[in-house]
Amino acid sequence: RMQTRKITTGSRNLDDLLGGGIETKTITEFFGEFGSGKTQICHQVAVNVQLPVEKGGLSTPDKVAKAVYIDTEGTFRWERIEAMSKRWGLDPDEVMSNILYIRAINSDHQMAIVDELFNIVPKENIKLVIVDSVTGHFRAEYPGRENLAARQQKLNRHLHQLSRLAEIYDVAVIITNQVMAKPDVFYGDPTQAVGGHVLYHAPGVRVQLRKSRGNKRIARIVDAPHLPEGEAVFMITDYGIAD
């Protein structure tokens, strides 16, 4: 049996839905409308990966598990990392020093960063790579139906690289994708189509997020026969992702 390891999201409900948490060696995609919690989950998992294994992270007594955060939208906030670290009694400065933050300014830069990670990841005990969002630059740079084929080809190459990175170095990869609440408005754009997921048929987990009342959010797994059906309710709180 292949050994896979999992990182807690901070919500027991969401972890259960994911079959224990975020898996290494694979891509987990969170998609949903604005404010649905994609970026908050990314922040929380970048902290949680640093926890010891018995607490839901991937750190071992001799080595801290580090995270790479590729931010394409400028929505990363160190203050959130601080709050989410204190929650577990972790030293925020230490946690922050173990997150390699990279701002990607366009899709070529975003892809070049991932290429470079093949050199960095094995040297640094990086166990998590986040791309928030994976689709933003591609959508902005390749607008309209006439650019769709070129965009998808490039995006698929990017996703393939991320998938290889996950498998080769036993790291978890999280990507996010903003989709409209009413995807029919974007008929013709596969990244906005039914289910909203980016068109990439690699092994991976796709999680749809929806807003509920107040700070409640609802997660649902999309096309993963090996995971349980149903939905998980979680909350976005001042101290992070919780039940």
The C-alpha atoms of residue 188 and residue 151 are separated, in whole angstroms, by 13
For 151-186, give one letter per residue: b (16+ CB within 10 A) or e. bbebbeebbebbbebbbebebbbbbbbbbeeebeee
Question: Would you count residue 35 as binding ligand GTP (CB under 6 A)?
Answer: yes
Q: Of these partners, ligand GTP, Mg ion, none, which one is at the site of residue 118 (CB under 5 to 8 Å by kind)? A: none
Q: Please choose, out of 2-10, 14-22, 113-121, 234-242, the segment that lies near ligand GTP by the rule CB under 6 A.
A: 234-242
204: enclosing H helix or E strand = strand 204-211
Question: Would you count residue 18 as binding ligand GTP (CB under 6 A)?
Answer: no
Sign of CA dihedral 173, 82, 122, 60: negative
The C-alpha atoms of residue 13 and residue 23 are separated, in whole angstroms, by 16
CB-nearer residue toward ligand GTP: 49 or 207 = 207
Q: Of these partners, ligand GTP, Mg ion, none, which one is at the site of residue 34 (CB under 5 to 8 Å by kind)? A: ligand GTP
Question: Would you count residue 178 as binding ligand GTP (CB under 6 A)?
Answer: yes
- What lies within 8 Å, CB to CB, of 72 at 6+ separation is 103, 104, 110, 131, 132, 133, 134, 136, 137
CB-nearer residue toward ligand GTP: 121 or 128 = 128
Question: Would you count residue 36 as binding ligand GTP (CB under 6 A)?
Answer: yes
**Tokens 């997020």 -> residue:** 209
Q: What is the smallest separation between the CB atom of 110 and Mg ion, expressed in angstroms?
A: 15
Question: Would you count residue 48 as binding ligand GTP (CB under 6 A)?
Answer: no
Question: Would you count residue 34 as binding ligand GTP (CB under 6 A)?
Answer: yes
Question: Would you count residue 237 as binding ligand GTP (CB under 6 A)?
Answer: yes
Q: Residue 66 pairs with which residues in a beta bridge?
A: 126
CB-nearer residue toward ligand GTP: 35 or 52 = 35
Please report, as ranges, the residues that interact with ligand GTP according to CB under 6 A.
32, 34-40, 75, 178, 215, 236-238
